Amino acid sequence: MAEDTNRRLKIIAGADSFGCTLKDALVAHLRSLNIDVEDLGTDKYYSVGEEIGRRVSSAASNSNPTPIETRGLVACGTGVGVSIFANKFPGVYAATCLTAGDAQNTRSINNCNVLAVSGMSTSPESAIEILETWLNTPFRSPCPASDSKPWPPEIDSFLDNSISEMTKIGPEKPAISSDSCAICCLAKAREFAPVEIMPGGSMKILRETPTSAIVRFKAGSVEPAHHHTFGHDLVVMKGSKRVWNLSKGEKYDLGVGDFLFTPAGDVHRVKYFEDTEFFIKWDGHWDLLLDEDHAAANAAIEKEAN
């Protein structure tokens, strides 16, 4: 049994067709323990890994911690594919576990927050044992790798520091050429280029990585729900807009001088009331991953207006 069935824990689960039967058994077991489970169902393994990785990353990066701990449960044929794509997101530590010992080690050593299991290699009974172990093993606790004894002080100290150090790992910073200033980078004569998947929008890149840019949208333009791998800050320089943060269930009306930070992975939709210009800076490289099309976005905005 889980140590505390009343703890505030949420599990987001999903699988591909090779792992769905095992995932269903584990979801049923979690619910029997009164643990909150959001079952995303079945999809391609890379889509499942991406979605759960993004959701766990978003919860982990929340600047306002909540009493709810969000973890992920993913399953595919081998348990490897889903973990690869979940691990593409910052703050996600997904591990494929074929034994209860694997689960105990990765919780103790790596603070694993996404459990990946194999639908082809693991029976429901074994998977439940793996899941129980993963649920009940605290970070830095005794495990098979420590010979089931408390970690020695030097290793315990290493593990204690590892979490903050791991969060710093990311894309390699580009080298600064010897003929450029390390303090300031002058950007002159750069043109605004259309944002192809966002009609009405154009963007002038000022710096590549981390990306900063000036963005313009015409009045009436809509950005369908989307998310980014990295969080971003923006300041409105002209015009007005409304931002719906769908991940948090909040909306913000922004005008000239207003600032907004959107965490990595948060799904958001935008409507522009006037010709609008804003400065934006991502914490890493710029990307844009759509979560709906323009028709769905316009329908949602119209429904709210009515």
Length of the chain: 306
pLDDT in tens, 19-55: 999 999 999 999 999 999 999 999 999 999 999 999 9
Q: Give me the pLDDT at residue 179, please.
A: 46
pLDDT band at 190 (very low <50, low <70, confident <90, very high): low
pLDDT band at 2 (very low <50, low <70, confident <90, very high): very low
Q: Is the pLDDT score of 210 beyond 60?
A: yes
One fold for 9-166 and 193-305: no
Digit-coded pLDDT (tens) for 142-189: 999 889 999 998 888 888 888 778 877 765 544 444 444 444 555 555
Chain centroid to Cα 182, Å, comes to 31
Residue 6 clears pLDDT 50, i.e. is over it: no
Q: What is the mean pLDDT of the chain?
A: 87
Q: Which CATH class is domain 193-305?
A: mainly beta
How does pLDDT run across 244-257, given as a tens digit for each residue?
Answer: 999 999 999 999 99
Instruction: Just give the CATH number of 9-166.
Output: 3.40.1400.10
User: What number is the average pLDDT over the span 68-82?
Assistant: 95
**Does 122 have pLDDT greater than 90?**
yes
Buried b (16+ CB within 10 A) or exposed e, 56-79: bbbbbbbeeeeeeebbbbbbbbbb
Q: What is the pLDDT of residues 52-71, one digit of tens each?
A: 999 999 888 765 566 789 99
Say which residues have a Cβ less than 8 Å from residue 15's Cβ, sequence separation at least 6. 22, 23, 42, 48, 74, 75, 76, 82, 119
The whole-angstrom distance between residue 282's C-alpha and the CA centroid of its chain comes to 15
Domain ranges of the chain: 9-166, 193-305
pTM of the model: 0.56
Residue 206 — very low, low, confident or very high, per pLDDT cuts 50/70/90? confident
Q: Evaluate if residue 196 carries a pLDDT over 80.
A: no
Examine the pLDDT at 239 and tell me if it is beyond 80: yes
Distance CA 52, CA 37 (A): 12
- Using one digit for the tens of pLDDT, what is the confidence trace for 283-301? 888 888 889 988 999 999 9
pLDDT at residue number 178? 42
Is residue 103 pLDDT above 60, yes or no?
Answer: yes
Is 118:96 a contact under the CB 8 Å cutoff? yes
Distance CA 120, CA 64 (A): 39
What the block records as the tokens of 210 is 């981390």
Report the share of the chain in percent with pLDDT over 90: 66
Say if residues 131 and 30 touch (Cβ distance below 8 Å): yes
Q: What is the DSSP string of the chain?
A: --S-TTS-EEEEEEE-TTTHHHHHHHHHHHHHTT-EEEEEEE--HHHHHHHHHHHHHHHHT-SS--S-EEEEEEEESSSHHHHHHHTTSTT--EEE-SSHHHHHHHHHHH---EEEEETTT--HHHHHHHHHHHHH--TT---GGGTTSPPPHHHHHHHHHHHHHHTT--SPPPPPPTTS-SS-----SPPPEE-TTSTTEEEEEEETTTTEEEEEE-TT-EEEEEE-SS-EEEEEEES-EEEEETTTTEEEEE-TT-EEEE-TT--EEEEESS-EEEEEEESS----EESS-HHHHHHHHHHHH-
- pLDDT score of 100 more than 90: yes
Q: What percent of the chain has pLDDT over 70?
A: 89
Mean pLDDT of 109-129: 96
In this prediction, residues 261-272 reach a mean pLDDT of 94
| Beta strand 69-76 pairing with 114-118 | parallel
